[in-house]
Structure 1
Amino acid sequence: MKLLILVLSLFVTQIHCLKDLFYEYGYNSVCIQYEFNITHGFADPDGVYREVFLINNQSPGPLIKANEGDWIKVKVNNYLPVALTFHFHGLLQKGTPWADGPAGVVQWPIISGDSYTHLFQLNDQYGAFWYHAHYREYSGDGIYGPMYIKPAANRPRPYAVITNNTDELSEFMELEKEPTTLMAADWFKWTQDANIARTFTKGIDPLCIQSLLVNGKQRLTCPSNETFNKVHLRRWREKNSTSPVPIVRFPPVNMDSIGCYANPTTNGFKFLRNDQRLKYGQRFDDESLQAPGFSKPCKETRSEREIIYTMRKRYLYLNVYNVGGAFGKSFSIDDHDLVVIAIDGTFVHPLIAQRLIIPIGTRYTVLVKVDLEERAARGSDTSEPFAIRFAVTSGNQIKEGLSFLVYDYPLNLTDPIDGVKYDDIQAYNDPQNGEQFQDMGGLSLSPHYKSVNPLITRPFDPTLRPPLGPADHSVRLFLNRTGTIEFSMFADGDLAPRGLELEAPLLHQHQLNHNVSFSHINGVIDPGIKLGQTVDLIVDAAPDIKHPIHLHGHSVYAISSSVLQTFPYDCIVEAVADSYQGLNFDHPPLVDIFEVPNGGHLVLRFVADNPGFWLIHCHIGIHMASGMMGVLVEAKDDIPEMPEFLLYQAHANYDLMNSKAISSLSDVLQEEYNDTKW
């Protein structure tokens, strides 16, 4: 009877969704409906209680699952005391740019007590995606979740490159229907509103995370200061060995009990110059603020970690995410190779590795062999859990997030699992079973271990190549720090307005008046891109910080990259004429988020086939909030008309030109920065 009710409920839901498609858009297709209730809660995902935001009473939120070509309808009901918006990361939103989510760009914020419905089609996309809040960094309070699009039957798959065993090939196709999700998220001691206030009024940047959640779970442990310093020394040695300007002396740091330290090249007000420390020290109390290097003493907890069970299968099909808003990460599973088969929703030529480098927002799909008989033959101890390790690799913190791989089914929690009880598994703080590939700082433990980063991947589909020849438009960006807590993506230091999220959405303004100009708004990039033209983004970075940059509405080909130099030409034509060796038109990586190396560059190519106003921004939350974003205007004469009812979304009026920024550093602090800029 319960099953019958469920089937009838799904049928009625689909009927309503199809009705909306017909009346609102004139389409007739498969449509799947979700309803998300966003609520304010109090939870302890890492054993420490704090305020959280929940999606249908959980975080991460429910899996959105569909087939390639389906329509998705997501109704968001905002029961929070604050506004928010939703973004579906990596989805192109072709034909429905108004469903992309960023406030001030395509819609108003969803005010408390209101609802907003996203309706879009999953055309020409498949694989692992995710959704998250796109307003005031509320994804860091728990508003995020996984999304999976099952590939169409005619998609070229790389499985036959991995094996010619028909049973294994059949198993891959079956596993593809229900992948296992692993989402690593940065979790702070404070809410995101508190973090923003601390950052913009006290200059606390970068922020330190309290824990690294895996599927919304973690247990706090407290490694010794000696352990932290050993890892820090290894991290410094590796960085120094690849730096174009080696540092002669190991720089000592003030490491606190959660592995966070003050980095003089990246920190805000406190460490601009040594001779300013006394002046700032008089104004701020580091210990009370818990600035980097001054966190309160660590206290261990006994909360649960995530456990992945093999279910006696021969392979796991994993979608591995970095959904944090602060740090890049590395990933490994002790004693298990990872076969990379997709990145950012695109199948790639398989790569075998022991470690993945995962910039913020990136998703890998990997196959992991977990054949019990094969393990027994090689002498592995499958009665003990294997460590699944995420670790922070960027910024100023050493932090690891553990979960476990167990060779069995999830039995009753008090029953033995191949000789190991559930509580015993949770008690492992330093599991040692088989070969460990990375340390708690995310560094490889041997030069013989292979690592994969997005820039060495190649699309498996041979038709996925960038257009050759000159670009119609070359847009140059420069990622740099322009103030104590100011980050820009423009050479002239322009910052996107902090009040942009509350402004009348650019897409709305354009629909109401196609001749409207946005030249008065910093960060709007409108070089006159026409439909079908080729666009190059030349993205250089200052030498201090890596920035993960996300362009909405597109996946992009990385046709040039360097960790040593900014791009030495004004356009690709000049580089070709000079026989520049750093170009790659032969199967370059295809991604939707790209980490620009500090002091280096990326050149990214795409075809303007998706008219709209597309946000481009740093995916480090505080950097975006402080101005490191822009809006790329694409083929504005061909932007589709949005449904008129969306123009009447409830909102609060806000005048960008006559209002002060929501949060801004005091003039005194900014003057101090200008006097001491490195």
Structure 2
Amino acid sequence: MDDKIEAVPFIAQEDSPKKKQNRGPNLLLGLACGLVLLDLGTRWVGSHRDILPKWHGQHKDCGLPSTPITEVREPGVVDYTLTLSQAWRNPDGGWWRPMFVGNSETPFETIHAQEGDIVKIHMFNELQLPWAIHWLGLDSGSETWNDGSAGVTTYPLLPRANRTAVFNTTGQWGLKRCLDHVSVPSVEGNYGTMWIRPSPNRERPYSVISDDKQDVQDMLEAEVRPHPVTVYNYQHRQAAGLIAQLQAEGHDPYCFQSVLINGKGRVHCKPPQLDKLDGKPLDTYGCVPQASGAVGYGECKPSNGDYEIIHTDNRRWILLQFTNTGFEHVWRISIDNHKMWIVANDGGFVQPQEVDVLHLIDADTIHVMIRLDQPAQDYAVRFYSYSKMQSIQGFAYLRYPHRRMGQTIGEPMPQPKLENGPVNLDGTVKKGFVLQEVDKLAPFTPNKPDQKADLTLRLKATGAPDPVNPFVTNCSLNGAPWQLFREFMEPVALHVKEQSSEPEPIIRNLPLGSVVDIILENDLPVDLPFYKHNNPTFKIDWDTKKSFNLENPTYGYMHELPAGGWLALRWKINRPAATMFTVYKVRYFIQGMQVALLEGDDAPWPELPKEQRELPHVDFPIPPRCGIFD
């Protein structure tokens, strides 16, 4: 006889008065036993997940390109409303201060889109000062009035005003980040990210990392839920006071109090085992003395702010997107007990590179795939500054699902031990660990630059003492500083053919269709990150090379100019557009190291829409001295 399974209904019966029992202890005992069994099961799964059957995510067709069926959709319109305002915040637990926030958050939440979407960002300015938002690494084509570069492509957005920026993401993808392009709100909390997921038809490098089809599919699924990681060096003082002290005493604003990871962090004072940096003594914040002797801060007081938690959610692979949203430090990034596969930079997919330590320069973005095959626990994600000005550390945690023992509710999260990990406190990498090779990130899909340049621009990153204020340096690229007041003037894009008789930080006569080289020299003893608006460039040479790399050079938006060295970049002008070429360290940025580029100005110029030409603005005469802070 075949075995039969019969469903027996449960019939609730009232207890007889004579046999009424107290079931409370039994229920509590059963609940306790259930929790114990659940905990034991979770622990066993966490420690044996590498030998368990891979039931989840099974697909018959795992070839490239591929994408989970439920995630494929036709390109559409993504609308996002962004209100900029000010609020009191204490992100590192060490100091309350006003910060600039987007939709009441800093950083504001990530905007999600798919390659091919039209993204519309509806912006409202609730601040008491003008504001313009620029998205780094986002190509606006010829419609650069959406670019957000005040004084070049648009007027700044006045208080209580609003406007909409529209971006066509066709042909571009990746994690983009934004900043204010008028003054300094971005060093006071005004930043956020946009994730544009690549088209399913775009070629991926995942099969180079693993020939296991399940691994490849898991990496594709990791794109659905990536983890943006913003790295932000944070100061307790407001920018207005810092700039005033720069002008009055020569205080250089390179000393920071904490590192915020996705807006979270805590104050870590100078480690006792580190006394000097590059031969110079350090204060309690880990900063070298100010050259002018100015004092910006008192003694460091550690805080107990929260660390960011990156949840793995029982996945086998995770996509982390590290982006440097600060304006000062280069970061050396590592994850305890985990290697990282670099799969993309801000220019697209690259030839994969397996490393222990990332080298993340200012404003750069690096996408990494990480295999999640370690025992279930928390693993420190370490952010150590690589700087001659300050030694500072920040942390986050990569968390596998597990039960955390010995931590009382309400107690601060434990700080990882500084001596663990592959990076020393001065940012150098310990022996036996692999550091990212910055100049070996060739595009995964072959992409050669044009073999010959039609035009060469020779620029020099330099600074000259201000004739009036000895504490101010007039920085420039073509000999003429980009003063802050230019952000409030009529945009250059509105009067392309007009040229001043005085030196100005604008480069004209860049014919449409021409291949342009920038040869950039550095007069300063510091590495400087540079960024060209609107399209990536090829890094074809720098001072350690002997000949141009025209076969497989690095391709991206951000490139680092060596201290006292030089750099060669190449791109082709494919459409008329007003763009910029700028440094990305705050003290050089605000002191004028920027230049506008009028690309394709020999061709018919795109007409700005009426609503852009008629944006409310303030007209004022040019200051007679044209000083940096006039």
Common fold, TM-score beyond 0.5?
Answer: yes
Q: Pick from 437, 443, 448: which aligns with 2:428? A: 443
Aligned to 1:486: 473
Residue 498 (structure 1) aligned with residue 498 (structure 2): no
Aligned CA distance change for structure 1 residues 257 and 405 (closer, same or farther; 3 Å): same
Equivalent positions of 1:496-535 (< 5 A) are 496-510=482-496, 515-518=497-500, 520=502, 522-526=504-508, 528-535=509-516
Aligned to 2:449: 466
- The amino acid that maps onto 1:441 is D
- The amino acid that maps onto 2:185 is Y
Could you give the per-residue CA deviations for residues 265-292 of structure 1, whole angstroms, max 9, x where no partner exists?
A: xx4x44xxxxxxxxxxxxxxx34xx2xx
Preserved CA contact (<8 Å) 1:531 1:635: yes
Q: Displacement of 1:535 after TM fit?
A: 0.2
CA distance in 2, matches of 1:441, 1:180: 27
Preserved CA contact (<8 Å) 2:477 2:594: no
Q: Pick from 121, 125, 128: which aligns with 2:168? A: 121
Aligned to 1:617: 582
Q: Displacement of 1:423 after TM fit?
A: 5.4
Equivalent positions of 1:153-172 (< 5 A) are 153-172=200-219
Aligned to 1:633: 598
Q: What SS is found at the alignment partner of 2:542?
A: strand
Q: Pick from 507, 515, 536: which aligns with 1:555? A: 536
Q: Displacement of 1:654 after TM fit?
A: 2.1
Preserved CA contact (<8 Å) 1:90 1:344: yes
Aligned to 1:362: 364
Could you give the per-residue CA deviations for residues 362-398 of structure 1, whole angstroms, max 9, x where no partner exists?
A: 0000011112xxx34xxxxx43x22111122124111
- The amino acid that maps onto 2:392 is K
Aligned to 2:186: 139
- The amino acid that maps onto 2:349 is F
Aligned CA distance change for structure 1 residues 422 and 316 (closer, same or farther; 3 Å): farther
Aligned CA distance change for structure 1 residues 604 and 519 (closer, same or farther; 3 Å): farther
* RMSD between aligned residues: 2.1
Aligned to 1:649: 615
Aligned CA distance change for structure 1 residues 165 and 638 (closer, same or farther; 3 Å): farther
Could you give the per-residue CA deviations for residues 511-544 of structure 1, whole angstroms, max 9, x where no partner exists?
A: xxxx322453521111x21121100000111241
- The amino acid that maps onto 1:547 is L
With normalisation by structure 1, the TM-score equals 0.78
Aligned to 1:588: 553
CA distance in 2, matches of 1:581, 1:330: 28
Aligned to 1:185: 232
Preserved CA contact (<8 Å) 1:524 1:633: yes
Aligned to 2:518: 537
Aligned CA distance change for structure 1 residues 310 and 425 (closer, same or farther; 3 Å): farther
Q: Displacement of 1:31 after TM fit?
A: 1.4
Q: What SS is found at the alignment partner of 2:607?
A: coil
Preserved CA contact (<8 Å) 1:454 1:591: no
Structure 2 unmatched ranges of 5 or more: 1-73, 466-470
With normalisation by structure 2, the TM-score equals 0.83
Could you give the per-residue CA deviations for residues 34-60 of structure 1, whole angstroms, max 9, x where no partner exists?
A: 111111100100112111011001011
CA distance in 1, matches of 2:76, 2:161: 27
Q: What SS is found at the alignment partner of 1:499?
A: helix
Aligned CA distance change for structure 1 residues 334 and 536 (closer, same or farther; 3 Å): same
Preserved CA contact (<8 Å) 2:111 2:194: yes
Q: What SS is found at the alignment partner of 1:298?
A: coil
Preserved CA contact (<8 Å) 1:328 1:392: yes
Preserved CA contact (<8 Å) 2:483 2:629: no
Q: What SS is found at the alignment partner of 2:495?
A: helix
Equivalent positions of 1:25-424 (< 5 A) are 30-47=76-93, 48-224=95-271, 226-229=272-275, 232=277, 236=278, 251-253=279-281, 255-262=282-289, 267=291, 269-270=292-293, 286-287=294-295, 290=296, 295-371=297-373, 375-376=374-375, 382-383=376-377, 385-408=378-401, 417-419=403-405, 421=407
Could you give the per-residue CA deviations for residues 240-297 of structure 1, whole angstroms, max 9, x where no partner exists?
A: xxxxxxxxxxx443x211111126xxx4x44xxxxxxxxxxxxxxx34xx2xxxx311
Q: Displacement of 1:431 after TM fit?
A: 3.4
CA distance in 2, matches of 1:147, 1:467: 30
CA distance in 1, matches of 2:256, 2:592: 22
Preserved CA contact (<8 Å) 1:613 1:631: yes
Aligned to 2:414: 428
Higher helix share: 1
CA distance in 2, matches of 1:550, 1:126: 18
CA distance in 2, matches of 1:123, 1:328: 31
CA distance in 1, matches of 2:575, 2:309: 41
| Greater displacement, 342-351 / 204-213 | 204-213
CA distance in 1, matches of 2:501, 2:328: 31
| Greater displacement, 449-458 / 516-525 | 516-525
CA distance in 1, matches of 2:418, 2:302: 20
Aligned CA distance change for structure 1 residues 432 and 299 (closer, same or farther; 3 Å): closer
Q: Displacement of 1:222 after TM fit?
A: 2.4
CA distance in 2, matches of 1:134, 1:423: 42
Percent pairwise identity:
25
Q: What SS is found at the alignment partner of 2:105?
A: coil
- The amino acid that maps onto 1:490 is L
- The amino acid that maps onto 1:427 is M
Aligned CA distance change for structure 1 residues 406 and 613 (closer, same or farther; 3 Å): same
Q: What SS is found at the alignment partner of 2:274?
A: helix
Could you give the per-residue CA deviations for residues 166-211 of structure 1, whole angstroms, max 9, x where no partner exists?
A: 1111111111122111110111121222222222332111421111
Q: Displacement of 1:93 after TM fit?
A: 0.6
CA distance in 1, matches of 2:426, 2:418: 16
Could you give the per-residue CA deviations for residues 65-102 of structure 1, whole angstroms, max 9, x where no partner exists?
A: 11111111111111111111100111111131111111
Preserved CA contact (<8 Å) 1:71 1:120: yes
